[in-house]
A and B are shown apart, each in its own frame.
Chain A
Amino acid sequence: MANQFADPSATPPPNLIERIGAPHILLIIALLLYPVVASDFFLTQIGGYGLILGMIGLSMMMLAGYGGMISLAQITVAGIAAYTVAIFGSNNTGVLGFGWPWWIVVPVAVLFASIASALIGWISVKTSGIYTIMITLAIATATYYFAQQNYAIFNGHSGFSGIKAPAFWGVDWRSPLPFYYLCLGVSVVAYLAVLYGRRTTFGLTLQATRDNPRRMRAIGYDVVLHKVFAWLLAGVIAGFAGVLLVWFNGRISPGTIGVGAAINVLIIAVIGGIRHPIGPFIGSILVILMQTFAIDLVGAERFNTLIGLVFLLIVFVSPDGLLGLWRRFKPRMTQESLLSGD
């Protein structure tokens, strides 16, 4: 069901199954069977939410890992999709809410998100490296303050609430099990799209511009255009994640796209590892598990200290996140499987 939303370039080649490899098949079987063992709480709050955050992290990882552009504005892009769903769809806040059906709202939301992402990219590709972090952080923060103060479009501080996932084909996508499978479907498509995309001509060109922009420019490639297009694609993934996010929360307010959230996405991607698309998903599950169970460890109040310390530890010990640790301890296994493509 999720396929029809997907990026058209994501169509997998026929011999995909052989190229996927055993770990992926085991992983997908485990994820498909996860609802058998999981309670509703684990299904949505950890499974569904983890996949959504993982997708936002994936869109960041894609830019960082293949384009060398570390963006802190991916949550902003997801937030634009979420706001679009709230404004063009229906909400119970009494402000705007055009009540369009989901099959128009979702493409429009993703379109807006990808355009916004391309614009952010166009502003920030003039710079590189750590400058990109600064500029995207400034953009994310400015958007947050703007959404908080603008009542005509964003409904200010309170945002929109009462946004429901639609029910179609006789399934209420808001109930835990369908919602989990919806998130899983979209995430798998996005994940495969990134895996596939990095081997395409475009993906390889992007990685080449990351490694040596001057040489690529000299050969005759339009470096800026390639990077902006990468931002556009990342915006598609973040846009879908934003739609799912607003359906998951049922509401969207400036707090969702605040600085804390932006940094959270960075933490997820860095903890997981930004060398492989699976990294952000690992990171998001880990961060959400910490978020949920930190109460038992350090008390609900000091959760951020815990997560900050884990983040610091990982940055110090392994620049490539958990994937980097994995690679260090199990060199032979990983070379043949997940990490072989780098």
Chain B
Amino acid sequence: MSNPGQTTEPQGLSAGGSFSRRQGWIILGLIAGALLAWMVFGIWPAWLNAILISKKAFVSAILNGLTLSGLYFLVASGFTLVFGLMRNVNLAHGSLYLLGAYVGYEVSTRTGYWLLGLAAGFIVLAALGALMQVLVFRKLEGDDLRQTLVTIGISIVAADLMLATWGGTTYQFQLPEWLEGAVSLPIITAIKSNGTTVYLNYPLYRMLVLVAAIVIGIGLWLILNRTRVGMMIRAGVDDRAMLSASGVNVHMVFTVVFALGAGLAGFAGVVGGSVLSVAPGEDVRYLLASLVVVIVGGMGSISGAAIGALLIGLAEQIGLVYFPTYGVVLTFVIMVITLSIRPQGIMGKA
């Protein structure tokens, strides 16, 4: 699996001239893509079923992995955005996620509208994030280490206060009716002996999580690359001092970015809490996920967060199905390999 692209290099498809490295990778990607497409849409022969348990298990693992990737992307994109601009490793990011979930839960159960809970999760956390930036992090600007230590302190206090308020019980969101149920996907899992084909059913809500993550990812990309604020943010990532010198109110940009990052964490909290559940300890889980995603993808890069989330989410779910005990280790191995080959992460700047 390592690099068949290079072995087919000279003789293969093109008669004149050899492949560049890049073309090799593209062909490798196409082959892998075609193989995956066949594995998802084709009908499996018996031997493949024997190796990979069943087609249903495999495709479900991939779909669950994609859903989880979407969720991880939502959490990690805020984390990486804040890090990229302010060099602030916000170790309270997991707490923001969990608080968003609790706020969303409270609002949606009291009003009865799930969407209202989602909006509240984003808005309340964004306001809180702006407040944190103005009251706390602005005071410690330029001192990365102390900022990080402060976020640790905040996460401890926040976890304890949330435990005091909401207790140790697990909360379950009540999804609105239009989000419940399953959709039948055009993926054949098996053909029964009487000739009827069985299609894969997958929860509608999980599909929507993935769609939401993609939409938000595109939205973030548009904000960063097509708006004036985005231009300032990108300039700030590259050279904070120069941005400030050219007359931009850097503090304002910082506050906007921190609010956006915290808001995304809160949004992800409601979305993730609805897929899984809301309970103490989730903050640590999502903090770890964001850390690994951002380390693998490259710190400060949105596209890196997307790639990292995809890798980690898929690895976690596939690991869960095929080697249940060592699923965590798989993500860890990915992290170590990335660090040893590219210490700055896949999309990170050196």
Contacts and interface: CB of A to CB of B under 8 A. Distances in A.
B145 A301 contact: no
A308 B153 contact: yes
B24 interface: no
A53 to B, nearest CB: 17
Given A123-B336, A123-B339, A142-B328, A305 B291 contact: no
Contacts of A146: 326, 328-329, 332
B149 A315 contact: yes
Looking at B156, B157, B161, which has the most chain A CB atoms within 10 Å of its CB? B156
Interface residues of A, number: 38
Interface stretch (A85-93, A109-117, A133-141): A133-141
A45 B156 CA distance: 23
Contacts of A149: 324-328
Contacts of B340: 123, 126
B339 A312 contact: no
A87 B164 CA distance: 38
Contacts of B91: 133, 137
Contacts of B327: 149
Contacts of A145: 328
Given A138-B295, A316-B150, A302 B160 contact: yes
Contacts of A126: 339-340, 343
Contacts of A183: none
B241 to A, nearest CB: 18
B328 A304 contact: no
Interface in A280-334: 301-305, 307-309, 311-312, 315-316, 319
A259 interface: yes
B283 to A, nearest CB: 10
Interface of A is mostly: helix
B180 to A, nearest CB: 31
A200 interface: no
A20 interface: no
Given A142-B329, A142-B331, A319-B146, A137 B291 contact: yes
Nearest to B284: A259
A246 B284 CA distance: 25
A266 B152 contact: yes
B54 interface: no
A304 B159 contact: yes
Contact of A308 (B146, B157, B164, B299): B157
Interface of B: 87, 89, 91, 139-140, 143-146, 148-150, 152-154, 156-157, 159-161, 164, 284, 288, 291-292, 294-295, 299, 324-329, 331-332, 335-336, 339-340, 343
